[in-house]
Each structure stands twice: as structure tokens, then as C-alpha cells.
Amino acid sequence: MRIEFPYYKNITGLDVPDDNLIGVCQPSVLLPGRFADEMMEQAFANPIGSPRIRDMAVGKKCILILTDDYTRKTPVREILNRLIPELASAGVERDDITIMVALGTHRPMTHSERVAKFGESICSSFRIVDHNWQDEANLVDYGVTDSGTPVRANRAVTDADLVLGIGQILPHRIAGFSGGGKIIQPGICGAETTAETHWRSALYPGAEILGIADNPVRREIEQVAERVGLAAIINAVCDSDGNLLGMFVGHPVAAHRAGAELSKKVYGVSIPEPADILVIDSYPMDIELWQGAKALYAGELAVKKSGVSILVTPCPEGVSKTHNLILKEGYRQSGDTISMVESGRITDKIVAAHLVRVGRVIRDNGVGILVSPGICRADTEQLGFLYAPDAQTALNMALEIKGQDATVLVMKHGGTSLPIISK
């Protein structure tokens, strides 16, 4: 069977022998039940677990709106065009509103990315600022969580009368699902807070976190968000191309749980069984390997132990713009990375958590082959992958490793997929 990657112009497809192929899967395409503007109107009018936002905004003079960044296809412009009139109906003036891009540890957005995300009108009419996780002078202490995680977040929250979060709910290896309190943690937190929640997640197998809305790491994130003061969320569930399928407005926990139910239906991918060889692309998490590796997090649930995972991803910005330690250390067996953290050789737990999660897939449980025009052969091998110039070569290599009768599963849109074994 011929497999193409139509969203990657510079990556060619491959031919998988029919006798080996056990499935080609990707998230479902669900049609919205009504037009997007009507869907948003209904969500704002009927919040889940909280008062309506315009009622919460009455008398408030400093509104902080947190939004996700270039790594998500959330329809932020359309949401803001609905949210701003909602605030205006409560007497909120434009000068009372600050929009903060909750970058977490990502790089700042370019001007063109901002315009694409917010639109020219919003960019020219409102104050938009970036969170800088490394700017210690701009962070404020909010105590510690019950489990001892220090809570440090952007001081802009202390000046705000009302903090709102805009995001998207997707399956997520660190938190179960994205969205909700993640707009605070890691969205606007400092390194120490983010390191603890990321590291906590790395110590759980993927099957205990990915696609599970109520899990220990998610509860920790929600406790951070509560302490910092997140009042309400406006979260979208979209397909992989950003088309709106559902909108959830209200309490950061209650609205998020409702959205996670729809997200699981959209992104849940039925697979017959784990495969000997998994071919998985990272769409739409494509810009760098820090994002693209999220496909491997999903792949952990879809490939057999001692299997081969082939990651197809363009990575035009290489491995990572903000986390050079990934390339320096590479993906080792997870126990080795954990030992390096415990001994103090690696102090950056944010990166270490990423190294552990990928290492579990391509070192502990099998072999990884990387097909990425944005990452050269030397860097690919330094990372711990086998190098392949194209997907067909990668498959041929995998069949040499696992045998010519090995089962092959192809998973498209792996950056947002949630594998569910049907047998």
C-alpha cells in the first residue's frame, strides 16, 4: 500500500507490503454540530461550573488574557473576537486588557506568527506581551503545592483582577490532555515549577498519563493554576487542521473535563494491536523535535517492546531553539537519564523529562529511526536515532531489523493521536 504525507511537501511517501500492514490510522474527522460562531456563543452563554465571564468581569479594571502560542492551532483570533465584546458588555475598556502569550519554555513568536494567531486588528489594538520563563525578576512566589512543588509565575498575575486562559484540549503525554490549567503551568511559570511537573510526569509510563484527564500530574498542574489565580478557561477542541469541533467555557477543572471527553473521541485512534514496526508522523507538531517527539509519546502505546519506531517529521528549526541540552546529551535509556539527574550531572529537569520519555521508546523498548530533513545525519545519530534519508529507506531498515514478516502500523497525525487498542 502506498502511504503519502501530503502535509509535508519535502518528505516523500513509502510503499508498505500489504502482507505486513496491519493498519493505517489517524484521528477521526468530526463535523461540528453547528457553525463555529454559534458554538462559541452557546459556550459563553452556558459556562460549565462557573458564572458567565461578563458577570465575573463586572467592576474589574485589569484583565489578563493568557493564550497559547504558535505550537497550537487554537482559533485564538476568533475566540478573542467573541471574548472582547463579552468583557465590553461588563464595562471593561480596551486599555484594561492585556494579552499574554503563555509560551512556557518555547521561543517567542515572530511578528508574522503573532499576526497569524491574533490578526492585524487585535495586534494593533491591544497590548500583547510574551511570558519569559527565564526572567527571574519578573516571577513571583505563590508558595508551594501540597506535594512541595514551588509555585513561581509571571508577576502580571498579581496586578490582574481577572485571569482568563485560552487554549486547546489535545491528548498530552505530560498532563493527560492539554488545556485547562496548563495555560498557567507551564504557560506562565518559571523553570523550577515547570521542571517539577515535567519530571513528575516522566516517572510514569505513558499508558498511565496520556489521554487520562484525571491523573496525578494534571492535579498538580491544577493546584498550581488555582494558587496563581486562573478564574476561567475558554478551551477549544479542534481537528488537526484547527477546525473548531467544540468550545468549553467555565471553571478551569469542570470545563476542562468536559472538553477532554470530546477530545478523546476526536483524537482516539483505534489500533488492532501494537506493531513490530510503527511509522508515525508528527503532524501538526512539526516545527522542531522538541514538539515533533510528541508523536513518539503516542507511539509508546502503539509499538511492541523491542519494536522499531520510525518518526517522520520536518523540523525546520532543528532539534530545539530553547533546549540545547537535548542534542548535547541525546536520548539514552531512561534509567541512565534518571541516574544522571539524581547524581546532579543533569540539573535541567525540564529537558531531562523529555529525554526520559523519548528514551523509553527508542532505547528502552526498541529502536528509533528518524526521517527529518531539518536534522542532519550527525545530529540524528548524536540524539540516539538511526538515520534514514527518506521514509522508504527507514522502512527497509526496520524490516531488516525485525524480519521481513514483521507487522507494520502507520499512524498519521501522530502529534495529537491517542492510540487505543481495539482487541
Query: If you write DSSP's letter for every residue of 302-367 in order, what string do you get?
Result: TEEEEEEEEEE---TT-S-SS-THHHHH----HHHHHHHHHHTS---HHHHHHHHHHHIIIIISEE
Please check whether residue 64 is in contact with residue 126, taking contact to mean a CB–CB distance below 8 angstroms. Answer: no
Please check whether residue 375 is in contact with residue 293, taking contact to mean a CB–CB distance below 8 angstroms. Answer: no
Range 389-415 average pLDDT:
97
Is the per-residue pLDDT at 52 higher than 80? yes
How far is 48 from 248, CA to CA, in rounded Å?
7
Percent of residues, the chain, with pLDDT higher than 90: 91
Q: Are residues 75 and 90 in the same domain?
A: yes
pLDDT for position 237: 95
Is the per-residue pLDDT at 266 higher than 60? yes
| CB-count exposure of residue 96 (10 Å: 0-12, 13-18, 19+) | middle
Q: Average pLDDT over the chain, rounded to whole? A: 94
How far is 265 from 416, CA to CA, in rounded Å?
12
Which residue in the block uniquely carries the three cell numbers 541516574? 339
Percent of residues, the chain, with pLDDT higher than 70: 98
- pTM confidence score: 0.90
For the chain, the distance separating the N- and C-terminal CA atoms, rounded to the nearest angstrom, is 23
Is the per-residue pLDDT at 34 higher than 90? no
Last residue of a domain, one of 266, 282, 311: 266
Is the per-residue pLDDT at 41 higher than 90? yes
Q: Are residues 112 and 233 in the same domain?
A: yes
Q: What is the pLDDT of residues 195-207, one digit of tens each?
A: 999 999 998 988 8
The phi, psi pair for 351, rounded to 5°, reads -70, -40
Q: Are residues 45 and 155 in the same domain?
A: yes
pLDDT for position 268: 93
Q: Are residues 253 and 330 in the same domain?
A: no
**Cell, residue 55:** 458577570
pLDDT for position 239: 85
Q: Are residues 141 and 276 in the same domain?
A: no
Last residue of a domain, one of 215, 248, 266: 266
Q: State how beta strands 366-371 and 303-312 pair.
A: parallel
DSSP 148-194: --EEEEETHHHH-SEEEEEEE--EETTTEESSGGGGTTTTTB-HHHH
pLDDT for position 31: 65
Q: Are residues 159 and 301 in the same domain?
A: no
Range 5-9 average pLDDT:
91
Using DSSP's 3-state secondary structure scheme, residue 289 falls into helix
Residue 35 CB partners (closer than 8 Å, separation 6+): none
We report the CATH number of the domain holding residue 308 as 3.90.226.30
Q: Are residues 141 and 248 in the same domain?
A: yes
Cα dihedral sign, 275-307-8-130:
positive
For residue 110, how many other CB atoms are within 10 A of its CB? 10
Range 221-245 average pLDDT:
93
Res. 423 pLDDT band, cuts 50 70 90: low
Q: Are residues 135 and 83 in the same domain?
A: yes
Range 411-417 average pLDDT:
94
Number of domains in the chain: 2
We report the CATH number of the domain holding residue 259 as 3.40.50.11440
Please check whether residue 313 is in contact with residue 279, taking contact to mean a CB–CB distance below 8 angstroms. Answer: no
Is the per-residue pLDDT at 33 higher than 60? no
Q: Are residues 115 and 16 in the same domain?
A: no
Q: Are residues 259 and 326 in the same domain?
A: no
pLDDT for position 32: 61
Q: What is the pLDDT of residues 273-291, one digit of tens each?
A: 999 999 999 999 999 999 9
Q: Which domain holds residue 232?
A: 36-266
pLDDT for position 36: 79
pLDDT for position 334: 94
For residue 27, how many other CB atoms are within 10 A of its CB? 22
Last residue of a domain, one of 229, 246, 266: 266
Of 15, 11, 23, 1, the C-alpha closest to 270 is 23
Please check whether residue 76 is in contact with residue 82, taking contact to mean a CB–CB distance below 8 angstroms. Answer: no
Q: Are residues 74 and 218 in the same domain?
A: yes
Is the per-residue pLDDT at 327 higher than 80? yes
Q: Are residues 8 and 115 in the same domain?
A: no
Which residue in the block uniquely carries the three cell numbers 477543572? 253
pLDDT for position 278: 98
